Chains A and B, each alone.
Chain A
Amino acid sequence: MTTILAIAGLVIKELYRRKDFYVLLVMTVVITAVSWLMNFFGENNIVRLLKSICLMLIWISALVIAVVTTARQIPAERESRTIFPLLAKPVTRRQVLMGKFLGCWLACGIALVVFYLFFGIVTATREHLAVTELIKGFWLQWVMLAIVIGLALLGSIVFAAPSSNSTICFVVVGGILFLGGHLGQVAMHLTEPGRTIVYAVYFLIPHLEWYNQREALVNDRALAAWSYCALATAYAAVYVAALLQATWLVFRRKTLNV
């Protein structure tokens, strides 16, 4: 566990040394501030548009940080050949993967805390802040990012370059977020064998759309109860475990020379 935590620590240090996070944070703050200054019919307390823009930027930023940070982990180690001294120590390939995953997930968590603090401040200046709902929204998004990181880590072993891996991850995650929940309804209207294929995809993919609680947070609706959040967390844990196992199966016999 100490080895995994040490590797994870290095990944977290990398996040705050690189400029991606700061650029995305500044972009979110600037765009939200510009939206703040907009005046609509002399109404000064309009908050939902502001929350909607801010949360959308947080979602985009978090996805970019998760995918881009994860996608370059293993390829960068291989390219700079630092993977060899790392594996020469008593560190197994499984520990490297676990460390990279944990590091990326914790790094995303840290970034997300900063983003949600900003969102909380923006909301609190114009209306009552529902802290519990905000924490639920944060938790669900962070859990979803674990699946995304698992997917990007598997992609970083399978695909040749981090750029292609990132692009494929964005397409897959975007596709699931926008269409994943509707595939069941689409399948019902299809004929065989299309119906079976679409149903198979529907039951196989991780349903990331459950974790997207933007609409509820923007419109002051109650989010799912904690018990359902716990079940969704367990569901995500199963997918993360499966993705990490698949990554390890590919990685354990992978030639490390570039």
Chain B
Amino acid sequence: MKQATNQLLILIGLVVASFSGAAWLAPQGEAVAASEGQGSLLTLLFGEGRKVVGSYFLRQADVTFHSGYYPTIFDGAQEPTDRRYMTSTEGSPEDEQHDREMDNFFKEPPRWDLIARFGRHFMITEHTHLKEENQREILPWLKLSAELDPQNVQTYTVGAYFLRAHLHKPEQAEKFLRQGLRANPNSYEILYELGRLNLENLKNPFRARNLLGKALKCWDQEEGQKPEKERNLYTKEEIITHLALSEKEAGDIPKAIEYFEMAKKLSPNPQAIQNWIDELKHGMR
């Protein structure tokens, strides 16, 4: 009886000690997080290694997007680092380039390597992408990646693209992009996505015009310093085209034509833009 009482007392003592420990540690943890400008438990947990874990989660988003079909460092193919194909339309140059790379990374093993040949039956060997509402499955990985590596701009642009274009959640997309913008205030890619979201989904061309204008300034600041061959001209053309569309929606047709003229110089298909210009000029008459 006495032994049981002693054990009960020890148990109560341990419960009290663990509660006191938790009560003492919780404010300290919050203070550390606040001093470093990081609020999440994950950030606190992974410390300086969080960028590596954040990149791993972004990779996991891509693995999930491919339903498990993904190269490893041993497969001879470079793992994709530019994930622009995730937001590209089917049949676009980025999509075709990606298909070529991914379809070829599984090289046929030599005839005598029976282990590798038999092992193929237990591997995912079909290149597919998630369709429509199943695309939501990549969101948790992107959210976790953004928590751990807030400076990775691709996480926000990819996440926002899926939220607005496929899952019809423009408000969530805007919230996620704003989170990204707070961590990367001069990112032209995030500003461009925000502008596009306001133009196409939230139907607010005035705000879109301001955001895209800022995106263009940020592009000049960031990319202007690089050698001409390394500049991301594709995104610049996209920004200017959407700026023109915003002006058109806002009713400032001369300004829209001016932007279309700028975009025409950068576009791989200038005739299509010229058609838009002609259409706008015809409407003005």
Measured CB to CB, the nearest residue on chain B to A218 is B68
Number of interface residues of B (CB under 8 A): 29
**With known contacts A40-B139, A43-B139, A221-B68, A232–B115 Cβ distance under 8 A:** no
A219 x B115 contact (CB < 8 A): no
A219 x B124 contact (CB < 8 A): yes
Instruction: Return B40 CB to nearest CB of chain A, in Å.
Output: 12
B143 x A41 contact (CB < 8 A): yes
A45 x B136 contact (CB < 8 A): yes
Cα distance A58–B70 when bound, in Å? 23
- B36 interfacial by beta-carbon distance below 8 Å: no
- Contact partner, A186, options B67, B74, B118, Cβ 8 Å: B74
A224 x B121 contact (CB < 8 A): yes
- A231 interfacial by beta-carbon distance below 8 Å: yes
Number of interface residues of A (CB under 8 A): 35
Residues of B close to A219: CB separation below 8 A: 64, 67-68, 124
A203 x B115 contact (CB < 8 A): yes
- B253 interfacial by beta-carbon distance below 8 Å: no
Cα distance A194–B238 when bound, in Å? 52
- A166 interfacial by beta-carbon distance below 8 Å: no
Measured CB to CB, the nearest residue on chain B to A205 is B115
Cα distance A40–B135 when bound, in Å? 13
Residues of B close to A211: CB separation below 8 A: 122
Q: Is the interface of B mostly helix, strand, loop or mixed?
A: helix
- B72 interfacial by beta-carbon distance below 8 Å: yes
**With known contacts A43-B139, A45-B136, A210–B119 Cβ distance under 8 A:** yes
Cα distance A231–B115 when bound, in Å? 12
Measured CB to CB, the nearest residue on chain A to B167 is A43
Residues of B close to A228: CB separation below 8 A: 118, 121-122
Interface string of A222-253 (1 = CB under 8 A from B): 01110010011000000000000000000000
Cα distance A186–B72 when bound, in Å? 12
Cα distance A50–B118 when bound, in Å? 30
Residues of B close to A202: CB separation below 8 A: 115
Cα distance A41–B169 when bound, in Å? 9
B76 x A185 contact (CB < 8 A): yes
Instruction: Return B141 CB to nearest CB of chain A, in Å.
Output: 7
Cα distance A186–B75 when bound, in Å? 10
Spell out A's residues near B (CB within 8 Å).
Answer: 38, 40-43, 45-49, 140, 181-182, 184-186, 202-203, 207, 209-211, 213, 215-216, 218-221, 223-225, 228, 231-232
Spell out B's residues near A (CB within 8 Å).
Answer: 63-64, 67-68, 72, 74-76, 109, 113, 115-116, 118-119, 121-122, 124, 126, 136-137, 139-141, 143, 163, 167, 169, 172, 176
